[in-house]
Amino acid sequence: MAAQACLLIGSGRYGMIFLTGSLKRNYCITKKMKGDIVMIVKVVEVIGASDKGFTEATQNAVKEAAKSLKNIKSIYIKHMNANVENNEIVSYAVNAKISFEIER
């Protein structure tokens, strides 16, 4: 059996909410403590680029993903990279994981 990741993502009126799932399958399920499924979240990996900075590269990744995905909930920056020419940074890129809720 594959190991499951579990992350507390919030608490409030309905109890604590955990994010669980197998990264190999690229999906996660958010649950209440009593085990009721609240929502299903899918994770996709994207690359965003910019010639201005990492913040803009991240925003570009979200903008591009939003063209084909609905209900984007979060972005996790996995890796950052900058290209250098003549001792100057000429471009920035981020490898990011974007989470979005799947409608039922």
Q: Could you report the per-residue pLDDT of 6-17, keeping only the tens digit for each?
A: 343 443 433 334
For the full predicted model, state whether its pTM sits above 0.95. no
Identify any residues that bridge with 48 across adjacent strands, giving them in sequence order: 94
Domain segments of the chain as ranges: 5-102
Q: Could you report the per-residue pLDDT of 39-92, keeping only the tens digit for each?
A: 788 999 999 999 999 999 999 999 999 999 998 999 999 999 999 999 999 999
Arch. (CATH architecture) of 5-102: 2-Layer Sandwich (3.30)
Question: Can you give the pLDDT at residue 29?
Answer: 52
Model confidence at 36, pLDDT cuts 50, 70, 90, reads low
* Interatomic CA distance for residues 98 and 73, integer angstroms: 8
Find all residues with CB under 8 Å of 101, minimum gap 6, and list them: 39, 40, 41, 71, 73
* Interatomic CA distance for residues 2 and 59, integer angstroms: 33
* Interatomic CA distance for residues 64 and 56, integer angstroms: 12
